[in-house]
Structure 1
Amino acid sequence: MPGPSTASPPPTSVYLQVLGPVRVLVGDEDVSVGGPVPRALLARLAIAAGEGVSDDALIDHLWGAAPPRTAKLTLQGYVARIRKILDPHRPGSLSRVLTRRGNGYALEPDATDWQQFTALSAEGRHLLAAGDASGAADVLDTALDHWRGDAYADVADSDAIAVEARRLDTLRLDAVEDRMEAALALGDHGAAAAHLDVFTRKHPLRERAWELLARAHYRAGRPGDALDALRRARETLAEELGTDPRPSLLSLQASILAHDDVLTPPIPSAAPIAATAPAAPDPFAHNIPLALTPLVGRRGQLAEVGELLRTHRMVTLTGAGGMGKTRLALEVARIRSDTDGPWLVELAGALDSSQVADALATALGLTVSGGVDALADVLRGRELLLVLDNCEQVVDPAAAVATAILTRCPAVRILATSREPLFTTGEFVYEVPPMTDGEDVQLFVARAAAQIGTFAPDAEERDLLTRLCAELDGMPLAIELAAAQCRTLSVRQLISHVDDRFALLRGGPRTNARHTTMLAAVEWSYQTLTESQRRLFQSLAVFEGGFDLDAARLVVGDAALLGDLGALVDKSLVSVTGGDPRRYRMLETMRGYAARVRDPEQTALLRRNHTRWICDLADAAFVGLRGPDSSRWMRRLDLDFPNVRAALDATVDDPDTYLRIAGGICWYWYRGGHVAEAITRLSPALASAGGQIDPVSSPVRVRAVAGAAVIHYLAGDLPGLFTALGLLTDLAATVADPVSRADAESTLAFFEAGSGLIEQARAHAQASLEFGLRAERPFTAAEALMCLGTADFRAGEYDAAAEHLDEAVRVASGHGYGWCEASSLWIGAKADLAQGRWGGPAEAKLARMIRVCESNADLTSWLVGLATLAYAAFRRGDHETAATLTAVVDRQGTSIGYRPAAMDPVDLAAYDAELRAGLSPTELEDGRVRGAALDRDEVSELVSSAVA
């Protein structure tokens, strides 16, 4: 007899609506995805239309320049919640609607209203052009019925969504005008005029709508109203834009005055009416070349630049050579519908203003004399887009010509491409970004397939391609040149050769000398620099990841570099990444070229300066990470950690310098849960610190070995911890520096107390406390008091423990030492639990501990607090809270490779085992589902509710 079926239930259709407030229909049910953040996440994924959006892009969209430290984990929680709602029968990673795509996510609903609308509006326009006005009216009515309000009405407060909302709104207005065109063709002149009168008052800059209104009035037998509409159109455009109306509007006015037969309304008929169909653009009224390869990706940039050209008469696309500026500009031009067509003006050979004007005249097929003034007179009445390509070769002449044309030709717009801005009045500078979100991999696959016939990379190859494209800075030219090598090399081989990218990246089109090789593309820009700019360009390449202005001055050794830095930014050789203070970075391709042309003596000097800067940074971080500015220091080190890694790599053969850096930033590793990296980096500390004691270097060794001890403790690595403590014992007995000795004694006391060596712990802690009080070092005193309280707790002397720990909390809190405050609260809570004091005292301490960890960006201690609070909830019988908090700890701890129970095998391990044994499998599974859906704020709310 067959058993019960295990087949999954059929999927329920998912319909996404964004033409109004974001709304989701699962089957016939209108479901809620939660608050503004999950709706914004859903909206950002919807914009991508099934393409992957990277974690980093989503985090930037949701939280901007200041995301929470656990942003990636919080993002995963939102994704889990949305998956459960949209695809309840296929939870988690099995979801068919919200899928993991590379290093991001993709949303693939069964249908979306915006895609249905755009398809129908395009069909309606096609029917209108073909003369089927009746069919067009029906289709356009159906398309416009999809709108329930402004697109993305409840989430349009981010740049990405606002741009998409404006794009959709523009398509909506186009569809309304098409519908009015159909109404006129069907003879419904009066109703069309009434509708268009309201429409033009609401959208007074839509010139086509004014023309339609004038036609409707004229055909309804009201020529005076038609002329009045055109008069209002002229006045509105002059007042709002300072321009004359487009030529077609002026021509319509002349036709009305002459009672031209072309304006006579046709007899309404069910048959297709071709007379009033909009004229198709002349395919030869432009010189934009046909694309020889399909455009891959860049959908977002196409929409953004198209929108910018609606509101700015000059837009300049900037970026490094090979970033795809020209291709993007041509695609933007190709989809425009200017009356007199878009025109490409190649400036590669121009040298001065007259030659720029000649290039423009040649492109337009004009024969004029008198230079740019005469050219502007010819273009004055035309509506067109000029694409000025490669302006970096003639920046000043191109700027002069552009200004002359824009000030005299109201219907002309300019889209320029340049490696640096033209700095003309009214110019909007748009920096073309690298390709990301999987578009870079798509480009590689498409270009590689063109070389080798077919190319269908498997999952492993796609991961390798993601890595390769990141190494190539997401630069389209570099990706295409790498793809061209697929005839010779595999993807894995390409990655292994990417360090020699200028030998690898060659074989570009012979028709473009500057793009034949990556070396040629960069070399051209480098040759335009002055001597001081070249030297700064070479010097800044020593930074890994990024830098700010102060770091640049310290490492380069030039206090007056701001002018040259600005020039490098203008020429797209250095990128600005935002922030306050501003941060900068160089693409790896630029860094590679700089290293290629930099002389060895300059390199050695820069390396020394860079190491000295990082040493000073580590010294300051060692103090700052334990003070009231610890969160700021965590953010600072997040930004500069690539430079820290580079300095560690450069000083591995210089033990004292290496230990100075590693010891200084150990608390960054600890708080962020970077356990594996910390252990790997601190291994040399254990290997070198055990040699002959040097009174000069021993304070540096104490810092590094103490850091190694706490990191091995965090990892639950007892052998590594005992090795570090043995070395620290020797150092504490011999180090001459009293501050270092007190730090060593506090560290030893904490671990001695934890392992039951009570008297040794008290002796070390008391010595450290006496020094801290005598030297007025509150951080040292707070740590010593915490260690005395820990020793009391292990000895079962709970009253003494409470006294020492309360004092430790007071001193640490009063001086902003968040880690010590949180740790003292935790030990105090464990003492309460040991006495059966759950249901109040323990939970209150843990809730405060968790708040302190949140404000200090201390992720690992935050997880410890949650794990301990879960046990307290379990002991008082609140199994739901216990299971949910345990799930949060499991999920977020797994993401960073950290288990609180492994760190504390005495207490937390016992708590965890007892809790899991006491909860049923159903309770644990339900808790896992709840915990996966919680974001950081919701966890905080749960913590607050857990305090009885």
Structure 2
Amino acid sequence: MAPVSVSGTPPVLVRVLGAMTAEVDGVPVALGGPRPRAVLARLAVADGRMVTDDAIIEDVWGDDAPRTALLTLQGYVSSLRKALDPATARTGLGARVVVRDGPGYALRLPPEGLDAAVFTTLAAEARSALGRGEAEAAARLLDDALALWRGPAYVDCLDRDFASPEIARLTALRHGATEDRTAAALALGDHARAVAMAEAHTREHPLRERGWALWAAALYRSGRQGDASAALLAARRTLADELGADPGPELLALQDAVLRRDDAGVAAVLPAPAAAPLARRQRRVPVPLTPTVGREDDVRAVADALRDHRSVTLTGPGGMGKTRLALEVAGRRDDPDGPWFVELAGLPVRSAAGGAESTAAEADPAGAVATALGVTSGRGVDALVAVLADRRALLVFDNCEHVVDSVALLVTEILRSCPGMSVLATSRVSLGTPGEFVHETPPLATADDGPAVELFLARASDATGGAAATEDDRLAAARLCEGLDGMPLAIELAAAQARTLSVRQLLDHLDDRLAVLRGGSRANPRHATMAAAVEWSYRSLTDGEKLLFTELGIFEGGFDLDAVTAVVDRRGAVLDLAPLVEKSLIKALGGHPRRYRMLETLRSYAASVRDDDVTARVRRRHVQWVTDLADTAYLELRGPRAAQWMDRLDREMPNVRAAFEHCADDLETHLHIAGGLYWFWYRRGNVAEGLRYLEPAMKARDLPAAVTARAVAGLTITRYLAGDIAGLMESFGRLAEIEPATVGDPVPRTDALVALAYFEAGAGLVEPALAHAAEAVALAEDLGVPSSAAEATMSAGTAWFRAGDLDRAHEFLRRAVDVAATSGYRWCEASSLWLDAKVSLAEHDDAGAVASLLRMLDACEEAADTTSTMVGLMTLAYALVRRGHVEDAALLRAVVDLRSESIGYWPAAMDPVDLGPYVAELTASIPADTAAAATAAARAAADTRAGSAGTNGESNLVEAVLQRCR
């Protein structure tokens, strides 16, 4: 049967109530394989809302996402557009169905364009008709709605997590519609059909009490009282066996009515006009005393979640603004019977061990709900459910964390028995109820024009009688808000001190943030200070959880499970991590492996309660963990997993910097770490940071030669990157003083030989360079370290280049390329290709140089290498201008110049011998107007990258040039 549209046949129809299909103008179209269909399903689930590229990739590929996932996704979207929006392909006009929306995509269909939306609309209209007593109209609508189903919803995506909530929602609506259709048949006197429908439905879904009630009522109306009684007894047995529960009050009342032959009692299961709403109170939801700042996106997200889920919980640490967000969401609703606000903070606090500080009855949240609703007929759960059974309203449960188990049971019972009710909870831990949607309340954005600064300045103005803020105040406020983690309570408490301290004074005292964040509202002493807000959560922890919380405060920026194991080193400690995440004291950041982070305010509290002995122990183990990390990174950055390790070190640099602080008086450990990480700083172009940590190598005396040699080699190559010729010669001289034979460890000895060979070759010292390179190759081959062999061979090729023997240079450099490529050492492969390109340029073989540079840039991309990419692009620009491709050369030059401005690394300064003259000739060969146009294009592309997550106009511009070169 063809779907019945709300407003005629749609031009595009996507069906998800069964196997996914699509039609355009009534003609089926192909959707591709499982993954493009999953992309379409992910967009359909979002119901017109934008889904980011990252979210689609995570949901469709999960942990198996390839590096090219974004490009593959773009290809899938292109194919879907051709199928669903053929006019776009024909005319070239903008997409209308699968559209780009900021950092993601959205599926834009009219309500009649998605069968799930048509079904939802028809089912809702039918239920309203039943409530008005219009059974015939309801029956027609329900027949049309149920005919849309061709199998389970989203059957192609049953194993995908993103579809599960929508599948559950639609399935529940289908069950409800089936039951409504049975009720309509009963109301129309079609008892035989009602019996057949209710029996089939109940046998398939035996835990739905309404199905049993309708079946028993239909049997009774058919004159089969005995069968009706037997059905109700079967219901009681089934619920007891499967759920361990007694029937609800509706089934019990129906059973009593059947036994007494009470027709009116049996009729109670039939649809009736909607019950009168609960008595309205003047203020069902408290009105905030100050305007809400910076939460519009969250308000929309939570409102959307409540549309799709009946239970939504706002989580986050104390002071993150969960209650304010809940009030804002609830205050904008217009439910027929609500919304209602239930404050639970005053209920007795449960102890960490699971006991209670008072009786369970006193801590029962059902009483608080009854009080909020003005219910006086009884305070038990059954009485509450009886009042709410036919209501349509939102209940807001505020501050659930200390009675979370009781609240979870109550919410589950309300949602199970009251289909028109929804719940919005605020809690530092999720409730764990079936179908719960958890929204982690984020910090406010802390940019100088963002909501965090707006909030601070507004509250500071209140505190100072309306004093205007200067531009300096705004800039200082942005730094202050960033230091306060964007936490609304912390920001408001700091702003309250503006009467006494200026913004810059507050910023100067940020290290003592718990002392600064005092004051607040006398009406809410629990939030009077930030320390009190954190202590509220800290007191709920077990002793083991408290200890782990203080220990994890040692990490800067974040950590993973391996780091916890290494630094804490206590049996069973990892098991205490999950409760800390649940209680919002640790934030889980996602990804694989999972990373975790503690907000700075929480870290300050952890430090304030941490025992001195514990601090000394975890600092010592933290430094050792970073030292081990540096040792592993040194090798990994020279192998096939270099890109992953570059990303990992990006994440771990805050911990690395903390380790340098903690070992400030231990030069050997300091240089051990720095010597392991210099390759990261070199390849990222982080020259200043690398020099800062490597400079102490020049003062190193009486340390193990292996540690000194590696650190001095790192300093030398970093000075080379910076273009510091005088410093390069100084550290090169220090490196030459370290006799390789005195370096006992053969791996650092090989490294020292490689570094000597490379810089000797660059300086034109051909014979010693070749001798040291040959020795390094022999050692590397004995050790089975092909990365060192590749670097040494590259150094030999450089020496022959400087000697003017270009054939030999090609020979050694191409051998280095082969060894590096085979071992997965992409940096060395790229560098050898760059040097080979320079040899080709010296031979005036510009085409050969371009070919080598294109291969080089491919290797750089695989290695996530910043500096080598910039060198390769600038050299390619020179090769292109020599070939007459001036505009493309100008574009590449402009991109490199912009990146240099951003990170402070200038390729020509690193290589004044060759790249310096290349750049000078390049500048002279590009007309001023061409250079200006290229710079404007590069800036526009960079702005696109900064303004739209998920897009990278600058990379697209470069890729277009490279494609023209291939």
What TM-score, normalized to structure 1? 0.74
Note if 1:877 corresponds to 2:897.
no
- 678, 691, 711: which one aligns with 1:679: 691
The reply to whether residue 842 of structure 1 matches residue 849 of structure 2 is yes
Which residue of 2 is the match for residue 866 of structure 1?
A: 873
Aligned-residue offset at 1:784: 1.6
Task: State the secondary structure of the residue aligned to 2:317.
Answer: coil
Residue matched to 2:712: 705
Q: Which residue of 1 aligns with 2:99?
A: 154
Structure 1 range deviating more: 909-918 or 815-824: 815-824
Aligned equivalent of 2:801, options 793, 799, 820: 793
| Structure 2 residue aligned with 1:926 | 933
- Does the 8 Å CA contact 2:139/2:181 hold for their aligned counterparts? no
Determine the structure 2 residue equivalent to 1:431: 440
334 and 710 in structure 1: CA distance in 2 versus 1, 3 angstrom threshold: same
Which residue identity lines up with residue 365 of structure 2 in the other structure?
A: V
Q: Conserved in 1, the CA contact under 8 Å of 2:740 and 2:752?
A: no
CA distance in 1, matches of 2:811, 2:145: 83
Q: Residue deviations 1:135-173, cap 9 Å, x none?
A: xxxxxxxxxxxxx99998413697x876xx89xx9xx97
| 1:739 CA displacement | 3.1
Bigger relative CO (Cα 8 Å, ≥ 6 apart): 1
Return closer, same or farther for 1:150/1:475 CA change in 2, 3 Å cut-off. farther
**Which residue is equivalent to 2:835?**
827
Structure 2 Cα separation of the partners of residues 225 and 397 of structure 1: 43
Could you tell me how far 1:460 is from its partner in structure 2?
3.9
Superposed CA offset, 1:74-97 (max 9, x none): 9xxxxxxxxxxxxxxxxxxxxxxx
Shift of 1:945: 2.2
Indicate conservation of the 8 Å contact 2:135/2:188, yes or no: no
Amino acid of the residue matched to residue 822 of structure 1? A
Kindly indicate whether residue 775 of structure 2 is the aligned counterpart of residue 764 of structure 1: no
Match of 1:204 in 2: 120
Change (3 A) 1:581 1:823: same
**Equivalent in 790, 802, 806 of residue 810 of structure 2:** 802
1:641 aligns with 2:650: no
* Structure 2 counterpart of 1:650: 662
CA spacing shift, 1:363–1:255, aligned 2, 3 Å: farther
Structure 1 SS opposite 2:846: coil
Please give the secondary structure, in 1, of the residue aligned with 2:522. Answer: coil
| Residues matched between the structures, number | 764
User: Which residue, out of 519, 536, 545, partners 2:531?
Assistant: 519
Secondary structure (helix, strand or coil) at the match of 2:120 reads: coil
Superposition deviation, residue 744 in structure 1: 1.4
The match for 1:659 among 667, 671, 684 is: 671
Secondary structure in 2 matching 1:883: helix
Q: Does 1:907 align with 2:904?
A: no
SS at match of 2:335: coil
What is the aligned partner in structure 1 of residue 788 from structure 2? 780
Number of the residue aligned with 1:80: none
Task: Give 2:380's aligned residue.
Answer: 371
* 344-353 or 415-424, which deviates more: 344-353
Question: Structure 2 vs 1, CA of residues 946 and 242 (structure 1 numbering), >3 Å: closer, same or farther?
Answer: closer
Q: Which moved more, 1:879-888 or 1:226-235?
A: 226-235
CA distance in structure 1 between the partners assigned to 2:95 and 2:913 by the alignment: 59
Q: d(CA) in 2 for partners of 1:378 and 1:494?
A: 52
Q: What is the match of residue 485 of structure 2?
A: 473
Q: Which residue of 1 aligns with 2:300?
A: 303
Post-superposition CA distance 1:683-705 (Å, at most 9, x none): 2222x22x2x44xx110111111
C-alpha distance in structure 1 between counterparts of 2:460 and 2:954, whole Å: 41
Q: 1:812 aligns with which of 810, 820, 823?
A: 820
Q: List per-residue Cα deviations over 1:213-271 (Å, max 9, x = no partner).
A: 7999x9xxxx77545457769989997437879xx9999999999xxxxxxxxxxxxxx
Secondary structure at the counterpart of residue 800 of structure 2: helix
Q: 1:343 to 1:663 in 2, by over 3 A?
A: same
Give the Å deviation of 1:454: 3.0
Distance 1:420 1:152, change over 3 A: farther
**Structure 1 contact 215–226 (Cα < 8 Å) conserved:** no
Structure 2 residue aligned with 1:139: none
Check if 1:531 corresponds to 2:552.
Answer: no
Alignment of 1:551 onto 2:551: no
Cα gap change, 1:451 to 1:408, in 2 (>3 Å): same
**1:540 is the counterpart of 2:552:** yes
Q: Does 1:732 align with 2:744?
A: no
Structure 2 vs 1, CA of residues 61 and 732 (structure 1 numbering), >3 Å: closer, same or farther? Answer: farther
Could you tell me whether the CA contact under 8 Å between 2:315 and 2:438 is conserved in 1?
Answer: yes
* Counterparts of 1:929 and 1:69, CA distance in 2: 33
Rounded Cα–Cα distance in structure 2 between residues aligned with 1:253 and 1:285: 41
- The CA deviation string for residues 100-121 of structure 1, in whole angstroms up to 9 with x for no partner, is xxxxxxxxxxxxxxxxxxxxxx
Aligned partner letter, 1:241? L
Contact kept? 2:564, 2:574, Cα under 8 Å: no
Q: CA deviation at 1:381?
A: 1.4
Within a 5 Å distance, the mapping from 1:330-369 to structure 2 comes to 330-351=327-348, 352=360, 355-369=364-378
In structure 1, distance between residues paired with 2:66 and 2:894: 19
Q: Is the 8 A contact 1:213 1:229 kept in 2?
A: no
Q: 1:513 to 1:314 in 2, by over 3 A?
A: same
| Residue 241 of structure 1 pairs with residue 173 of structure 2 | yes
CA drift at 1:459: 4.2
Is 2:958 the partner of 1:939? yes
1:314 and 2:311 matched: yes
Q: Does 1:326 align with 2:323?
A: yes
Corresponding letter in the other structure for 1:537? F
CA-to-aligned-CA distance 1:845-895 (integer Å, 9 cap, x gap): 111111111100111001111111111111121111211111111111221
8 Å CA contact 1:671–1:861 kept in 2: the answer is: yes
Deviation (angstroms), 1:206: 6.4
Structure 1 residues 334, 554: CA separation in 2 closer, same or farther (over 3 Å shift)?
A: same
Gaps of 5+ in 2: 1-12, 14-42, 44-48, 72-92, 148-168, 190-275, 349-359, 942-952
Residue 402 of structure 2 is aligned with which of 393, 407, 416? 393
Q: Which amino acid aligns with 1:945?
A: R
Asked if 1:567 corresponds to 2:588, the answer is no
CA distance in 2, matches of 1:784, 1:555: 37
Root-mean-square deviation (CA, aligned residues, Å) is 4.1
In the aligned structure 2, how far is the partner of 1:595 from the partner of 1:152? 53
2:917 & 2:278 partners in 1: Cα distance?
Answer: 77
> Amino acid of the residue matched to residue 560 of structure 2?
D
Deviations 1:792-848 (A, max 9, x none): 111111111111111111111111122221111111111111121113x11111111
Change (3 A) 1:440 1:256: farther
Separation in structure 2 between the aligned mates of residue 858 and residue 547 of structure 1, nearest angstrom? 24
Deviation at 1:69, TM superposition (A): 15
Q: Residue type of the partner of 1:308? A: A
- Output the amino acid matched with 2:753: E
CA contact (8 A) 1:329 1:387 kept: yes
Q: TM-score, normalised by structure 2?
A: 0.73
Mark the CA change 1:228 to 1:609 in structure 2 (over 3 Å): closer, same or farther. same
- 1:419 corresponds, among 420, 428, 434, to 428
* One-letter amino acid matched to 1:895: S
Partner residue in 2 for 1:631: 643
Match 2:902 to one of 880, 895, 898: 895
Q: Deviation of residue 709 (structure 1)?
A: 0.7
Q: Where does residue 718 of structure 1 map in the other structure?
A: 725
Alignment-mate amino acid for residue 854 of structure 1? E
Superimposed CA distance per residue, residues 46-94 of structure 1 (whole angstroms, 9 cap, x where no aligned partner): xxx9xxxxxxx9997899899x9999xx9xxxxxxxxxxxxxxxxxxxx
CA change 1:332–1:368 in 2 (3 A) is same
- Classify the secondary structure of the residue corresponding to 1:572: coil
**Alignment of 1:851 onto 2:847:** no
One-letter amino acid of the structure 2 residue matched with residue 878 of structure 1: H
